[in-house]
Amino acid sequence: METDQLSVSIWRGGDGGAYQTYQVPRLESQTVLDVVTYIQREIDPSLSYRFACRVGVCGSCAMTVNGKARWTCRTHVSRVAENGALTLNPLRNLPVVKDLVVDMAVFFDKWEKAMGAFVGDKTRDQALAAVSPSDPKRKEASAGIECIGCGICYATCDVVDWNKDYLGPAAMNRSWTLINDERDVARIPRLQAIAGDNGCLGCHSQQGCVERCPKSLNPTGAIAGLKRHTMKAALKGELT
Amino acid sequence: MTHEFEQNQTDLLILGAGGAGLFAALHASSQAPELDITIAVKGLLGKCGCTRMVQGGYNAAMAVDDSIERHFMDTIEGGKWLNNQDLAWTLVNEAPRRIRELENELGCFFDRNPDGTLHQKAFAGQTFDRTVHKGDLTGIEIINRLSEQVWKRGINRLEDHRAVELIKARDGSGLAGVLMMDMRTGSFRLVQAKAVLLATGGGPTMYKYHTPSGDKSCDGMAMALRAGLPLRDMEMVQFHPTGLIAGPGTRITGTIIEEGLRGYGGHLLGGDKQRFMSRYDERAERATRDIVSRAMYSEMRNGNIGPNGGLYITMKHLDSREVRSRFKGMVERCHDCGFDLVGGDVEVVPTAHYMMGGVEFGADCQTEMSGLFAAGEDTGGVHGANRLGGNGVANSTVFGGIAGDAMAKWVPTAGVFREPDLDAAQAAIAATLYPFRIDGGHMPDIREKLYDVMWEDAGILRDAESLARAKGSVDDLHSELMRTGIADTGKAYNLSWHDWLNMESQILISKVIIEAAIAREDSRGAHFREDFPKIRDLENSHYTRITLRDGALNLSTQAVDFNRIKPGETLLDA
């Protein structure tokens, strides 16, 4: 049943914090981001949260909503409220700055460690590569390319929780798109970067990342691809 | 009272991490790897600004039958001859090279034709299909690829850092650095730099309905103005015809419903659920952005509105499967927020989208202050009176790259750590802490009032009377802001404090927009005066130029230098 009030419990103040509960009027068009905005503007100006684009493009506003990591700018309250209540926490697996705001530096650092940056051998003075959009490798790369780096998969992943050095789903999803990018020339160093237990072998295929990705990407599938490629490369002696 | 602050040094400080800031960082580090480069951003690197939000694409004359001259003419015609022609020429010349750099060196992959060649699509106001894109999410592809290259190169990052004030040298020789606030702690740091790039993005977020990301509040323009730099073309604010409207209680209000829907055959309906566009233009819904926005505003003013005060866009007369597949991203976005774009009527409203005006700068991105460079939406002159869709991301990336190259060249020969005016830094800190010393007031009221004033009196349709009213209202709002305080619940990540500071920038820049709009007594591009509805005296085109001196805005007009081409001429062969 929809009620005209929403009861919102928010974790305040990091490790030594506590839940604080607010009553927020229900509106017809209301996202979880709108709820925290209302609280900060009208009830408790000290509440901290992060957002930027408002439309699911930047991945700044993710948090834990009723136990699940979600982007909040495009999460309609009517789809997630349980008995007229919401419980909000910061994203898991990332250090908390304050309230619902996390520091994502480690997430970006791992993207870099997984060699998530393109390495080409052509310059701005050369023509673009001719690449057919129907080429199977290109299709595989394109399937994973629309990641917005919101960190939802990273926060959901239990392996990240157990092993702080595990690169995580988003970073390796990017590596996989590059392995399939025929213009990239760093295949072997990239496979070396993601091999081992902190890389693709750490994945237990629990698929939390797949279930939670707001862009419907498949990082588990990408990591499985990396496993196959590292194994083949290792057998050929390319990774030593 | 003396305030404490940290002091740091970096050779090159970049403010902003959109297309302009990231490109500047990459170019500077390639050109001069020995330089210590720092990039500062109000949120997280790669997640702020509007380059990331680009849907349409990137204009570049790359096809065999297209030409630089043709892109130039489209840009000048679109800009109603107000552009700085050297800037526009630089834009169109560099754009193809920047696309090749994005693909070949940085790893972007733009859409291809079935034969593997680059796909370039049609976009409004252009005589050739030259818009390079990645589906309807071009910006994500560009910013993701730029960000990961910046992470890789060990460029220093100051995330969650707000630029507070440009701090000049004590001897008056130029810029010494920037006073920053670490938003995570609320503490201040003066970052001394040999060169600084202003690339914070503009963003007309003072309008009731607006598209830009929430971090944008015209801070860069406000700092430049306070530092004595001139802003040009500030009356030129572009409105996009279709933004979502779902009431004041949701941040989704104002965000874009893409242009392609109208191109594909979408209908606009009034509150009475009848089409109206053919009464305004024979192209009906397919007329240009400015015409559609004005028609919609007229309908709204006549009271032909829906429950939230907007009009409707509908696709329901079209093949639903086709709509779903062609506009997947937009259909999903609407669905997530509770609207049915395929089978329903979605309430929409014109929405403030882009500022053509900004800091005056040269084609090498230097400003008139030694040590300060500028690029992207903080600058004015590239687009003139109107920006073509697809020229925005071209602008930020082209001039961002140029700025990086220029600063890398300038710093080793002319750059020094100037001794900062510490009194100015102290004064800026005191001004920033000001709201904590005030009791009372209610910030959200001021925001809503500013939204209304700018929308109703300085928006899509303006006249002398409405602008005079707007001027008085915004002055009053400034006074009200100065009587409105923030409870000191701690300075760490205090969003309410930042709301106040954002509002201060937005109010200052609103005043500039109004002042420039009062001065321009003709209608061209994005600026429409109901009391002067015609474009006037094209051959003697002047642009507005505003500076701040002793707390007062000074306006002058400058003749446009038609140094490459005059109205009536063309660079194209007949």
The tokens for B294 are 């004005």
**A80 interface with B at CB cutoff 8 Å:** no
Stretch (H or E) spanning B330: helix B328-336
Summarised one tens digit per residue, pLDDT across range A24-74 is 999 999 999 999 999 999 999 999 999 999 999 999 999 999 999 999 999
Mean pLDDT of chain B: 96
Tell whether the model's pLDDT for residue B574 goes beyond 80: no
**A29 interface with B at CB cutoff 8 Å:** yes
Q: For position B328, what pLDDT does the model report? A: 86
**Cβ distance of B104 and A126 shorter than 8 Å:** yes
Q: How far away is chain B from the Cα of A219, in angstroms, using its nearest Cα?
A: 17
ipTM of the predicted assembly exceeds 0.95: yes
Q: For position B100, what pLDDT does the model report? A: 98
Mean pLDDT score, B287-299: 92
Stretch (H or E) spanning B30: helix B19-31
**Cβ distance of A78 and B338 shorter than 8 Å:** yes
Summarised one tens digit per residue, pLDDT across range A79-113 is 999 999 999 999 999 999 999 999 999 999 999 99
Q: For position B210, what pLDDT does the model report? A: 98
Return residues 500-529 of B near A (CB < 8 Å).
none
Q: Please tell me the distance from the alpha carbon of residue B507 to that of residue B449, in angstroms, as a whole number.
A: 11
Q: For position B185, what pLDDT does the model report? A: 97
**A62 interface with B at CB cutoff 8 Å:** no
Task: List the catalytic residue out of B27, B161, B240, B383.
Answer: B240
Q: What is the CA radius of gyration of chain B?
A: 23
Tell whether the model's pLDDT for residue B280 goes beyond 90: yes
Confidence of residue B390 (pLDDT cuts 50, 70, 90): very high
Summarised one tens digit per residue, pLDDT across range B402-412 is 999 999 999 99
Return residues 344-383 of B near A (CB < 8 Å).
none
Nearest neighbour of A128 by CB, restricted to B47, B53, B118 = B118
Beta carbon pairs, A and B, within 8 Å: 205
Tell whether the model's pLDDT for residue A2 goes beyond 60: no
Q: Please tell me the distance from the alpha carbon of residue A154 to that of residue B547, in angstroms, as a whole number.
A: 48
Cβ-Cβ contacts under 8 Å for B434 (sequence gap 6 or more): B482
Confidence of residue B322 (pLDDT cuts 50, 70, 90): very high
Summarised one tens digit per residue, pLDDT across range B449-496 is 999 999 999 999 999 999 999 999 999 999 999 999 999 999 999 999
**B214 interface with A at CB cutoff 8 Å:** yes
Instruction: Please report, rounded to a whole number, the percentage of residues in chain B having pLDDT higher than 70.
Output: 100
- Residue ranges of domains in chain B: 240-351, 424-559
Q: For position A102, what pLDDT does the model report? A: 97
**B299 interface with A at CB cutoff 8 Å:** no
Q: For position B125, what pLDDT does the model report? A: 80
Confidence of residue A7 (pLDDT cuts 50, 70, 90): very high
Tell whether the model's pLDDT for residue B366 goes beyond 80: yes
Interface probe, candidates B52, B102, B112, B500, chain A, greatest A C-beta count within 10 A: B112
The HSE-up count of residue B573 (CA atoms within 13 Å, CB side) is 3
Q: What angle do CA B110, B114, B120 make, to 5 degrees?
A: 45
Fold of B424-559: Methane Monooxygenase Hydroxylase; Chain G, domain 1 (1.20.58)
Interface probe, candidates A2, A46, A176, A185, chain B, greatest B C-beta count within 10 A: A46
- Global pTM reads 0.97
Confidence of residue A1 (pLDDT cuts 50, 70, 90): very low
**Cβ distance of A132 and B140 shorter than 8 Å:** no
Please give the distance of CA B38 from its chain centroid, rounded to a whole number. 22
Return residues 140-199 of A near B (CB < 8 Å).
141-142, 145-149, 174, 178, 181, 183-184
**B137 interface with A at CB cutoff 8 Å:** yes
Question: Which segments of B106-200 are extended strands (E)?
Answer: 120-121, 131-132, 156-158, 161-168, 175-182, 187-198
Q: Please tell me the distance from the alpha carbon of residue B323 to that of residue B254, in angstroms, as a whole number.
A: 22
Mean pLDDT score, B38-59: 95
Tell whether the model's pLDDT for residue A206 goes beyond 80: yes
Interface probe, candidates B140, B156, B257, B439, chain A, greatest A C-beta count within 10 A: B140
**Cβ distance of B48 and A52 shorter than 8 Å:** yes
**Cβ distance of B247 and A54 shorter than 8 Å:** no
Nearest neighbour of B214 by CB, restricted to A52, A123, A147 = A52
Q: How far away is chain A from the Cα of B184, in angstroms, using its nearest Cα?
A: 7
Q: For position A3, what pLDDT does the model report? A: 62
Tell whether the model's pLDDT for residue B177 goes beyond 50: yes
Task: List the catalytic residue out of B71, B145, B189, B262.
Answer: B262
**A51 interface with B at CB cutoff 8 Å:** yes
Mean pLDDT score, B176-196: 98
Confidence of residue A13 (pLDDT cuts 50, 70, 90): confident
> How many CB atoms are located within 10 Å of the residue B322 CB?
13
Q: Please tell me the distance from the alpha carbon of residue B545 to that of residue B358, in angstroms, as a whole number.
A: 9
Q: How far away is chain B from the Cα of A68, in angstroms, using its nearest Cα?
A: 17
Is B240 among the catalytic positions? yes
Mean pLDDT score, B106-125: 94
**A137 interface with B at CB cutoff 8 Å:** no
Q: Spell out the domains of chain A, with CATH numbers in brackets.
A: 5-102 (3.10.20.30), 105-235 (1.10.1060.10)
DSSP of chain A: ---SEEEEEEEESGGG-EEEEEEEE--SS-BHHHHHHHIIIII-TT-----SSSSSSS----EEETTEEE-STT-BHHHH-BTTEEEEEPPTTS-EEETTEE--HHHHHHHHHTT-S---S--TTSPPPP--TT-HHHHHHHHTTT-----HHHHH-HHHHH-TT---HHHHHHHHHHHT-TT---HHHHHHHH-STTTGGG-----HHHHH-TT---HHHHHHHHHHHHHHHHHTTTT-
**B446 interface with A at CB cutoff 8 Å:** no
Nearest neighbour of B151 by CB, restricted to A42, A111, A132 = A111
Measured between CA atoms, the residue of chain B closest to residue A127 is B100
Tell whether the model's pLDDT for residue A16 goes beyond 90: no
**B341 interface with A at CB cutoff 8 Å:** no
Measured between CA atoms, the residue of chain A closest to residue B152 is A112
Measured between CA atoms, the residue of chain B closest to residue A24 is B249
Q: Please tell me the distance from the alpha carbon of residue B32 to that of residue B406, in angstroms, as a whole number.
A: 11
Residues of chain A found within 8 Å of residue B115, distances taken between Cβ atoms: 130, 132
Mean pLDDT score, B162-176: 98
Q: Please tell me the distance from the alpha carbon of residue A170 to that of residue A168, in angstroms, as a whole number.
A: 6
Query: 1.10.1200.10, 3.90.700.10, 3.30.70.580, 2.50.20.10: which CATH number matches B240-351?
Result: 3.90.700.10
B440 and B469 in contact (C-beta within 8 Å)? no
Measured between CA atoms, the residue of chain A closest to residue B112 is A133
Q: Please tell me the distance from the alpha carbon of residue B276 to that of residue B150, in angstroms, as a whole number.
A: 49
Nearest neighbour of A29 by CB, restricted to B97, B246, B443 = B246
